[in-house]
Amino acid sequence: MPALPPVTQALLLINVALFAADALLGHLLSALFALWPIGPNFMPWQVVTYAFLHGDFFHLFFNMLGLWMFGAELERIWGTKRFIQFYAASVLTAALCQLLVNALLDSRVPTVGASGGLFGLLLAFGMMFPNRIIMPLFPPIPMKAKVFVAVFGGLELFFGVTGTQSGVAHFAHLGGMLGGFLMIRYWRGQSPFGRR
């Protein structure tokens, strides 16, 4: 296996270290750095810090697996600076979408996880390598990357609108995809951004 590029490796290590630290501290980090809805518990730094915390081991495992699968290759192609810009755009847009949905639904539940950034990377992978065959864990059916992205995006929208799988931030996932899509459009000089 090729060596992990530096940012992907750093993200994996930071997420695992903070998960362990949060467990040892009785979830004190989650209380302070999760993305709380706008209100007394909300702090501006939470739009970034929430993406480095996870609710349980499986949440962490699947997010880090996706980060390794999709992020490592994208970082090798884009380089460190562009990869950081892209991941940050996905994480921030995911946070803003989740804050908006929480405000509309009057939710008081905090959000944690790198899923918004991961869904941005997933979208980018599908745009960069649309015909590459992917074998997901669930369901274990080989499919083209563009189909994989469309299926996951459609499921997130369906689950978010219907309220299925409550406790999952579906609109944060979609927000991460939106942020990734807009960043790629910006780099390409495409609408809604002017040509550069």
Listed by start position, the domains of the chain span: 6-188
115, containing H or E segment = helix 115-128
Helix (H, G, I), strand (E, B) or coil at 33: helix
> Band of the pLDDT at 196, cuts 50, 70, 90?
low
CB atoms within 10 A of CB 78: 18
Q: What are the structure tokens assigned to 72, written together?
A: 């490592």
> Band of the pLDDT at 163, cuts 50, 70, 90?
confident
> Residues 103, 38: contact at Cβ < 8 Å?
yes
pLDDT digits (tens, 9 = 90+) for 107-147: 899 999 999 999 999 999 999 999 999 987 777 889 999 99
Which pLDDT score, from 0 to 100, does residue 1 have? 53
Residue 169's contacts (CB-CB under 8 Å, 6 or more residues apart) are 94, 98, 111, 113, 115, 116
pLDDT digits (tens, 9 = 90+) for 16-50: 999 999 999 999 999 999 999 999 999 999 999 99
Identify the residue with better confidence: 195 or 15. 15
pLDDT digits (tens, 9 = 90+) for 80-105: 999 999 999 999 999 999 999 999 99
Pick the CATH number of 6-188 from 1.20.1540.10, 3.30.365.10, 1.10.10.10, 3.40.50.80: 1.20.1540.10
Expressed in angstroms, the distance from the first to the final Cα of the chain is: 37
**Is the model's pLDDT at 165 over the cut of 90?**
no
Which pLDDT score, from 0 to 100, does residue 3 have? 77
Beta bridge partners of 134: 143
Query: Would you say the pTM of this structure is higher than 0.75?
Result: yes
* Residue that the structure tokens 């209100």 belong to: 39
